[in-house]
Amino acid sequence: MADQKKLVEDITSMEEDFAKWYTDIVKKAELIEYTSVKGCMVIRPYGYAIWEHMQRILDGMFKATGHENVCMPMFIPESLLQKEKDHVEGFAPEVAWVTHGGNEKLEERLCVRPTSETLFCEHYANIIQSHRDLPKLYNQWVSVVRWEKTTRPFLRSREFLWQEGHTIHATAEEAIEETERMLNVYADFCEQYLAMPVVKGKKTESDKFAGAVSTYAIEALMHDGKALQAGTSHYFGDGFAKAFGIQYQSKENKLEYPHQTSWGVTTRLIGAIIMTHGDNNGLVLPPAVAPIQAVIIPVAAHKPGVLEKANELKDTLAAAGIRVKLDDSDNSPGWKFSEYEMKGVPVRIELGPRDIESGNCVLVTRHNREKTITPLDGVADSVKAKLQEVRDALYQSALANRERRTYDCKTLDEITKALEEKGDGFVRAMWCGDEACEDKVKELTGVGSRCIPFEQAQLSDVCVCCGKPAKHLVMWGKAY
C-alpha cells in the first residue's frame, strides 16, 4: 500500500521540469510501458482505451462525410516508393527496410510503411478507368514506422498508431474542397471532443508534406507554451496520378488525370491531451474520451447498505450511457481519491451512510476539485451536466492559456523580448514569403513558422525580418 501511495503522489511538478512531469504522468497513469526496442512503446489498456474513444468518434465523423475504411499492406516495394521523387526524398531518412525473408535475401527491399500514398496510388491505377469510378473516399486505421532519432511517448515514436485518409477526385476543385473539409473535421474533433482549441492554417512551402502541392494543419498550444501539430491535410494535385499512370475517361471521352488528397491524425493526440489539460496531480481527461467518466467511491463501505446502494447507483449511471466504475476494493477512500485524480477521471462520486440517509451523494469534478451535493434521484442528469461543465471549463482554460501566450510582434527584437519576458508561446508576425526570412527568424529568435492562419490580420505592412512588403500573417512558435 505504501508503494502505491508513493506512486500516486510522486509527480514532478510541471513548473520544475515539464518534460519529467510529462514522463511521470504517462508512466504513473499507466498509459504506456517502455520496451526493449528503442523508440517503441506498449500502449497499456488505459492509454489504448483513450485511443479507442478517439477512433470511435473520428470514424463516425469520417463515415458521416462519405468515407469508407480499407486496409493496405504494411510493406512497400522500393521500386513503388521511388515513383514519386519528392515523396521518397522526404521520407528517406526515416524509412525502415526489410532485406530478408527468413534466411533468404529479398530480390527487392521492402519499406515498412511510413505512410501509404504509393500503395493507394497502385490500387487506384488498377480500379479507376471512368469518371463513374470517382471519387474514392478511403480511410485506414493502421500503424506506421518512422525511424525517429529522438523519441518521446505518444509525441514522437518509431511506431505509432494513426488513421490516414486517402481520396481521389475528378477535379482540383473537388480535391481542394475535400482537403479543407477534413481539416475542419479535425478542428471540430479537437475543440468539441478534446476541449483543445486549435489554429487552422496553411503550411509554408518549406514545411509542407513531401510530394504535396499544399499542406493544411491545425496547431495547438501546450501548457508550457510550445506548439503541437495536431493534424494535417494535404492536397496533392495530379502529381501522384501522373507518376503512377492513373487516368480516367471523362464525360467528354477525354483521358484526364485525377487529383488526390491525404490527411491524418495520430496517437500524439493523447500527448496533446496530457500537455493541454494535465496538472501536477496527473491526467485531466476530456469526458468524451475518458475511459471512465465517473467513478463511485463508497465511504465506510463495510457498513450495511453502502455497497448495495453504490451498485444500484452504478447501474443507474450505466443505463444512462455514462462510462462508470465502482471501486469496491479494500484500498482506503483517500488512496482511491488520489488514484482517480492521477487517472484524470472527470467526475468522482462519493457515497456513504450519511449520504444514503439524506438521499444524496457528493460529486467532485476533477479539473477544479469542486464538490457538489446532489440528490440520488435524478443523479444521472446531474452527472451528465457535470461532464459538460468539465468539457467547457477545460476548453476555456486552454483557450485562456493560448490567448495569454500569444504575442503580436512587429520586429525580431519584439519577438525576442516577448519570449524572454513572458515565456514560450505563439508569436503572430508578418512575413514577406521569402524562405530565407523564414529561416532567419528561427535562427535569431528560436521560433519557426507553424502555419499561415486562415484568419489573417494586418499587424503591419512589412516583413518582421527584412522590412519588405508583407504577404502573410504567420503563426510562429517552438514545437514538439
Asked whether 336 and 310 are in contact (CB, 8 A), the reply is no
Q: What percent of the chain has pLDDT over 90?
A: 93
Q: Are residues 6 and 113 in the same domain?
A: yes
Nearest to 145 by CA among 109, 112, 120: 112
| Cis check: omega of the bond before 135, within 30 degrees of 0 | yes
C-alpha–C-alpha distance, residues 141 and 163, integer Å: 4
CATH number at 99 reads 3.30.930.10
**Residue 394 maps to a domain:** no
CA angle (355, 295, 303) in 5-degree steps: 40
Nearest to 373 by CA among 394, 392, 356, 393: 356
The residue among 277, 305, 324 that closes a domain is 277
pLDDT digits (tens, 9 = 90+) for 446-456: 999 999 999 99
**Model confidence at 6: pLDDT above 70:** no
Q: Beta-carbon neighbour count of residue 406 at 10 Å? A: 18
Give mean pLDDT, residues 359-386. 97
For residue 474 the three cell numbers come to: 504567420
pLDDT computed for residue 351 by the predictor: 96
pLDDT computed for residue 92 by the predictor: 82
Give mean pLDDT, residues 258-269. 98
Q: Are residues 37 and 161 in the same domain?
A: yes
| Residue-number span of the structural domain to which 233 is assigned | 2-277
Asked whether 283 and 272 are in contact (CB, 8 A), the reply is no
Q: What percent of the chain has pLDDT over 70?
A: 98
Q: Are residues 434 and 368 in the same domain?
A: no
pLDDT digits (tens, 9 = 90+) for 104-114: 999 999 999 99
Give mean pLDDT, residues 276-297. 97
pLDDT digits (tens, 9 = 90+) for 303-320: 999 999 999 999 999 999
The residue among 360, 388, 416 that closes a domain is 388
pTM of the predicted model, to two decimals? 0.95
Mean pLDDT of the chain: 95
Q: Are residues 358 and 472 in the same domain?
A: no
C-alpha–C-alpha distance, residues 409 and 413, integer Å: 9
Confidence of residue 3 (pLDDT cuts 50, 70, 90): very low
pLDDT digits (tens, 9 = 90+) for 397-420: 999 999 999 999 999 999 999 999
Q: Are residues 417 and 461 in the same domain?
A: yes
C-alpha–C-alpha distance, residues 188 and 211, integer Å: 27
Give mean pLDDT, residues 251-258. 97
C-alpha–C-alpha distance, residues 472 and 429, integer Å: 8
**Residue 396 maps to a domain:** no
Q: Are residues 222 and 360 in the same domain?
A: no
pLDDT computed for residue 5 by the predictor: 43
Q: Are residues 115 and 175 in the same domain?
A: yes
User: How many domains, the chain?
Assistant: 3
Contacts of 154 (CB under 8 A, 6+ apart): 26, 31, 32, 160, 267, 268, 270, 271, 274
Q: Are residues 241 and 328 in the same domain?
A: no
Chain position carrying cell 507554451: 225
C-alpha–C-alpha distance, residues 171 and 184, integer Å: 20
pLDDT digits (tens, 9 = 90+) for 45-104: 999 999 999 999 999 999 999 999 999 999 999 999 888 777 878 788 899 999 999 999
**Length of the chain counted residue by residue:** 480
The secondary element (H helix, E strand) that includes residue 429 is strand 426-431
Confidence of residue 474 (pLDDT cuts 50, 70, 90): very high
The secondary element (H helix, E strand) that includes residue 200 is strand 199-202
Q: DSSP readout, 137-180?
A: EEEEEEEEE---SS-BTTTB-SEEEEEEEEEEESSHHHHHHHHH
pLDDT computed for residue 9 by the predictor: 56
C-alpha–C-alpha distance, residues 108 and 429, integer Å: 49
pLDDT computed for residue 476 by the predictor: 98
Least confident of 78-82, 134-138, 375-379: 78-82
**Residue 285 maps to a domain:** no
pLDDT digits (tens, 9 = 90+) for 7-57: 445 799 999 999 999 999 999 999 999 999 999 999 999 999 999 999 999
pLDDT computed for residue 89 by the predictor: 82
